């Protein structure tokens, strides 16, 4: 048997850098959980922005089938899958939508399938790993532009547009570790000027932003200018899976050519049914969205982290930049000792020297929970900035 000592050495190096991670069993109980040390902690680390994963009414008439039994193209696509896809297309105001086993599969597969040799992808430097992997898997040239720098994008295309068959501008909508938002209006202007297509990952905007909750594109008024929108069912929707919404010809092409869709087992019918009811709740209970936006604005105000962008201030991701990895780990442990879970995020998830606590808010958090957390942050001497 070959030796794997080299892996042990690498893990030891990660430990010395305060960057080694491990799986920790946590028993969820609503907006709280009990950790492996039997501590009951209020969870400020999840992506359950609307409380639909942990605090929704019971779902009636769930399908009895626990699995879809096959990939979507073989026999795993049921009437429920079609109903969910149609619901998403209507929600996103697009011709069509198609489901994926995860948001990661949707992002990586879509970019890798649509961008081809002879094309160029312009990708934000802080894009999610799934988009980065999609760029790497494609045969297109990839130009990584400085975070949010739409002028850089325009300058590249002014100089080089003639070199490429197609241009793809790929970006997160809401950036998951920073809580800031992409300049989609400016990127759409550039796309129209240079005959490019914009692909936006709405993972952290879906359900939270916009008049109806369909995401950042709606909030910024560019839904009709961003043809391809990727989303997830695992965050505000409170379930699991991903989707792509856009022109029917695009989703049809993905069904025929996207490997992460074609060669994956379709979502379980129980998950699909739960997602359908979640979209119904988005429409019938807008107060969930209003609640989490209000909490986000309040927390930013109290921590002096508000920006000049009103939309950004309503994003329920509040990064508390600490700096050094060890200090971030100390800060998260201090808060756990006070009864709160706010996870430390370290490289390579974020750039070196920017380790942080990622504070995530949920409509299920009470005012008392939030005020207690803010007091604990001050009491623990956690300086952010």
Pairing of strands 242-246, 27-29: unpaired
Q: Which of 204, 223, 260, 362 is catalytic?
A: 204
Residue 163 DSSP class: G
Q: In angstroms, what CA-CA distances link 287 with 91, 244, 339?
A: 18, 26, 27
**In the beta sheet, which residues pair with residue 42?**
32, 340
- Catalytic residue at 176? yes
Residue with tokens 């909030």: 219
- Catalytic residue at 297? no
CB atoms within 10 A of CB 297: 16
Q: Which of 81, 150, 235, 365 is catalytic?
A: 235
What span, in angstroms and rounded, lies between the C-alpha atoms of 268 and 70?
10
Residue with tokens 């009811």: 277
> Helix, strand or coil for residue 22?
coil
- Catalytic residue at 90? no
Q: In angstroms, what CA-CA distances link 243 with 117, 232, 237, 330?
A: 25, 6, 12, 38
Residues sharing a CB contact under 8 Å with residue 110, sequence separation 6 or more, in sequence order: 134, 199, 228, 230, 244, 254, 258
Burial 230-260 (b: 16+ CB within 10 A, else e): bbbbbbbbbbbbbbbbbeeebbeebeeebeb
CB 230 within 8 A of CB 202: yes
Q: Which of 176, 197, 214, 360 is catalytic?
A: 176
CB 131 within 8 A of CB 201: yes
**Structure-block tokens of residue 371:** 């005020």
Active site residue ranges: 176, 204, 235
């Amino acid at each position: 048997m070959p030796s794997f000592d080299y892996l042990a050495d690498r893990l030891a190096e990660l430990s010395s850098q305060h960057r080694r991670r491990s799986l920790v069993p946590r028993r969820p109980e609503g907006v709280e959980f009990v950790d492996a040390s039997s501590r009951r902690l209020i969870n400020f680390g999840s992506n359950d922005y609307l409380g639909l994963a942990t605090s929704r009414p019971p779902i009636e008439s769930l399908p009895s089938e626990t699995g879809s039994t096959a990939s979507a193209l073989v026999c795993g696509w049921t009437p429920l899958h079609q109903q969910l896809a149609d619901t998403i297309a209507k929600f996103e105001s697009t011709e069509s939508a198609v489901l994926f086993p995860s948001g990661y599969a949707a992002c990586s597969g879509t970019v890798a399938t649509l961008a081809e040799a002879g094309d160029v992808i312009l990708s934000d430097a802080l894009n999610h790993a799934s988009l980065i992997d999609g760029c790497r898997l494609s045969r297109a040239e990839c130009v990584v532009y400085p975070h949010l720098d739409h002028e850089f994008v325009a300058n590249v295309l002014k100089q080089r547009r003639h070199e490429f068959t197609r241009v793809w501008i790929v970006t997160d909508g809401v950036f998951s570790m920073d809580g800031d938002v992409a300049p989609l209006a400016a990127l759409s202007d550039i796309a129209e000027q240079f005959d490019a297509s914009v692909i936006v990952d709405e993972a952290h905007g879906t359900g939270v932003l916009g008049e109806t909750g369909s995401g950042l594109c709606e909030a910024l008024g560019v839904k009709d200018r961003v043809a391809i929108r990727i989303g997830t069912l695992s965050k505000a929707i409170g379930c699991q899976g991903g989707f792509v919404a856009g022109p029917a010809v695009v989703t049809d092409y993905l069904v025929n050519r996207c490997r992460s869709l074609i060669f994956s087992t379709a979502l379980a019918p129980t998950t699909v049914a739960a997602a359908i009811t979640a979209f119904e709740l988005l429409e019938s209970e807008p107060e969930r969205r209003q609640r989490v936006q209000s909490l986000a604005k309040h927390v930013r105000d109290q921590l002096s982290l508000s920006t000049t962008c009103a939309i950004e201030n309503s994003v329920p991701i509040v990064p508390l930049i600490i700096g050094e990895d060890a200090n971030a780990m100390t800060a998260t442990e201090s808060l756990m000792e006070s009864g709160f879970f706010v996870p430390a995020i370290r490289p390579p998830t974020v750039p070196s020297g920017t380790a942080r606590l990622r504070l995530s808010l949920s409509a299920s958090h009470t005012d008392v929970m939030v005020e207690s957390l803010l007091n604990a942050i001050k009491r623990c001497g956690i300086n952010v900035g």
